[in-house]
């Protein structure tokens, strides 16, 4: 194509389709007890209220259907919205569940790029479109202090070259490094990566969490406070070691 | 280029209005044409501290609503003819201010003034948001106590994410710490945070320490910004702050305890 014809084709474009990958929390349901779901959701939200507030959410019903359990999509959606989460998609649902979601304006997503164990699903919704191959997310680098009330989310590793104030919240799907005082909340491996670690040069955190396993400041003993430490998971328990 | 300075804190009653009046006067006395705006709609008191409350005809809200021109509403200070005050309305509620309206007024002021000082109301709601939104520089007024420091930190977060500069991805607002109502004796007794404690929590450039001082109350009772009381410690602290802001190199004062007569005679640290 010549340069000219390209320009002509463009003359009054006011929109453009782009493909982009972004990360969204996925709610994987294993059981269908609505009361238990609400309670456990509330507990999770309580750990990182800023993060979850008005967060988009993808419903994953694969495990549920594996266990041959059904759930009322309308009721579930209402419950989720009530907790200030915004369902934007469903995957792994039965035909009926998927149609039900579509009626509520919630599109179906394919789940073929999820985990290795989830490939052989008979009841999966048909793939709407091929999904772009996942690219390893880049490290997010923050050079200014993270202040009270601020929240930072990294879909890969998170490196902070300043302090994290009390009342601030930093979250990463990968590792977290803080080269300053860590006084706020730090949650690594928020999508379930149990290999994620937190490194910081001065531990004074209000809360630390890896893949949902957390300790609050009260649980931190004096020997690790104000120390440079790394934090990792061992047998579902957080280990805090000096570095 | 004109610069817009917001004087803000989050927490109430820490000395924002006292500071706004003092530094606006200080900048004007140094020869810079300066306007100071009261953003505390409904609770105006900048005009009291500036001693011009009986000359208020029109206010900030009148100008925003097009009921008066900026020139009609600006009050020239009685002590310094380079200083003008734009008072807040006592009778309107906070919703009278709009971002568009404030932006327009600031743009107009920028044509004529070197510095525009915005006295923010307490809190992090609309009024405080509008006061900081267009700022180039922020003076964070903090008292040496945990709740004030925490609120300042919160305000710093808002400055760095919700201001016009942040939204347009421009160079961030320059942030300065003003530690006010500081009392070295009470720090020593452990009743107050020290300068170092506050610095460690906020990690912010310290523009100056203003001591707890009776002269502040005297000044506001007589409707004279405390900086005009050149003999007072608080007045001198504000004069230092203005000088440092303008790039002069002044060593910090008022951080250590006053030496009594004994200390003065026998020196020592
Ligand atoms: N350095 C100081 N020494 C003693 N008193 C002070 C000092 N600075 C301020 N004050 C007093 O503290 C009170 C509050 O001051 P000011 O009105 O300046 O605070 P503010 O932050 O503007 O309050 P608001 O949040 O209500 O607008 C006033 O009574 C004032 O006289
Ligand atoms: Mg005030």
Domains of chain A and any CATH numbers: 26-124 (3.30.70.260), 140-242 (2.160.20.70)
Q: How many residues does chain A have?
A: 243
Q: Which residue has the CA at smallest separation from atom 8 of ligand 1? A: B15
Chain B residues with CB under 8 Å of A146 CB are 157
Sequence-ordered list of residues with C-beta below 8 angstroms from that of A234, at least 6 positions apart, any chain: none
Q: Span B154-170, mean pLDDT? A: 96
- Tell me how far the alpha carbon of residue B106 lies from the centroid of ligand 2, in angstroms: 20
Asked if A148's CB is within 8 angstroms of B172's CB, the reply is no
B131 close to ligand 1 (CB < 6 Angstrom): no
pLDDT in tens for each of the 243 residues of chain A?
Answer: 444 444 445 567 777 776 555 667 788 888 888 888 888 888 878 777 777 778 888 888 888 888 788 888 888 888 888 888 888 888 888 888 888 888 888 888 765 433 333 333 334 444 444 444 455 568 999 999 999 999 999 999 999 999 999 999 999 999 999 999 999 999 999 999 999 999 999 999 999 999 999 999 988 988 999 999 999 999 999 999 998
B44 close to ligand 1 (CB < 6 Angstrom): no
Chain B residues with CB under 8 Å of A145 CB are 156, 203
Distance from CA of B19 to the nearest CA of A (A): 24
Q: Span B157-172, mean pLDDT? A: 95
pLDDT of B264 > 60? The answer is: no
- A·B CB contacts under 8 A: 34
Residue B5 near residue B118 (C-beta atoms within 8 A):
yes
Q: Any chain A CB within 8 A of the CB of B196?
A: no
Q: Given this model, what pLDDT does residue A21 score?
A: 54
Which residue has better confidence, B91 or B103? B103
Asked if B156's CB is within 8 angstroms of A167's CB, the reply is no
User: B25 pLDDT band (50/70/90 cuts)?
Assistant: very high
Asked if B160's CB is within 8 angstroms of A147's CB, the reply is yes
Asked whether this complex has an ipTM greater than 0.85, the answer is no
């Amino acid at each position: 194509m010549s340069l000219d014809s390209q320009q002509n084709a463009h003359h009054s474009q006011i929109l453009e389709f782009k493909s982009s990958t972004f990360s969204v929390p996925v709610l994987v349901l294993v059981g269908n007890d609505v009361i238990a779901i609400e309670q456990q959701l509330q507990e999770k939200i309580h750990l990182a209220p800023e993060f979850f507030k008005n967060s988009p959410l993808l419903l994953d019903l694969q495990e549920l259907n594996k266990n041959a359990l059904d759930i009322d999509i309308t009721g579930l959606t209402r419950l989720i919205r009530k907790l200030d989460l915004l369902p934007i998609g469903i995957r792994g649902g039965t035909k009926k569940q998927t149609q039900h979601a579509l009626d509520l304006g919630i599109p179906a997503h394919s789940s073929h790029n999820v985990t290795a164990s989830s490939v052989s699903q008979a009841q999966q919704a048909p793939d709407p479109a091929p999904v772009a191959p996942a690219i390893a997310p880049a490290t997010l680098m923050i050079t200014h202090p993270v202040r009270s009330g601020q929240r930072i989310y990294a879909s890969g590793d998170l490196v902070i070259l300043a302090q994290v104030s009390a009342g601030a919240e930093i979250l990463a799907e990968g590792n977290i490094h803080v080269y300053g005082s860590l006084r706020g909340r730090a949650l690594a491996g928020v999508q379930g990566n149990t290999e994620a670690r937190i490194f910081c040069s001065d531990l004074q955190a209000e809360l630390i969490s890896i893949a949902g396993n957390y300790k609050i400041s009260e649980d931190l003993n004096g020997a690790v406070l104000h120390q440079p430490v790394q934090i990792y998971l061992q047998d579902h328990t957080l280990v805090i070691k000096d570095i | 280029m004109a610069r817009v300075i917001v004087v803000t804190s989050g927490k109430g009653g820490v000395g924002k209005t006292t500071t706004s009046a003092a530094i606006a006067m200080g900048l004007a006395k140094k020869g810079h044409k300066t306007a100071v705006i009261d953003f505390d709609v409904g609770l105006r008191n900048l005009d009291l501290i500036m001693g011009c409350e009986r000359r208020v005809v029109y206010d900030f809200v009148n100008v925003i609503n097009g009921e008066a021109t900026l020139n009609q509403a600006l009050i020239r200070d009685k002590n310094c003819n380079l200083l003008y005050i734009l008072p807040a309305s006592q009778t309107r509620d906070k919703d009278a201010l709009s971002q568009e309206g404030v932006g327009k007024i600031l743009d107009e002021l920028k044509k004529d003034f070197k510095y525009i000082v915005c006295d923010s109301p307490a809190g992090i709601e609309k009024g405080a948001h509008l006061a900081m939104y267009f700022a180039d520089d922020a003076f964070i007024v903090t008292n040496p106590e945990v709740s004030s420091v925490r609120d300042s930190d919160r305000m710093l977060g808002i400055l760095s994410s919700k201001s016009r500069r942040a939204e347009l991805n421009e160079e961030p607002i320059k942030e300065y710490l003003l530690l006010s109502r500081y009392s070295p004796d009470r720090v020593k007794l452990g009743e107050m945070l020290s300068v170092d404690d506050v610095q460690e929590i906020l990690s912010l450039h310290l523009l100056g320490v203003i001591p707890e001082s009776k002269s502040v109350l005297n000044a506001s009772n007589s409707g004279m910004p405390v900086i005009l009381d050149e003999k007072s410690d608080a007045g001198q602290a504000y004069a230092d702050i203005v000088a440092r802001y303008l790039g002069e190199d002044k060593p910090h004062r008022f951080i250590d305890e006053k030496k009594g007569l004994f200390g003065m005679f026998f020196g020592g640290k």
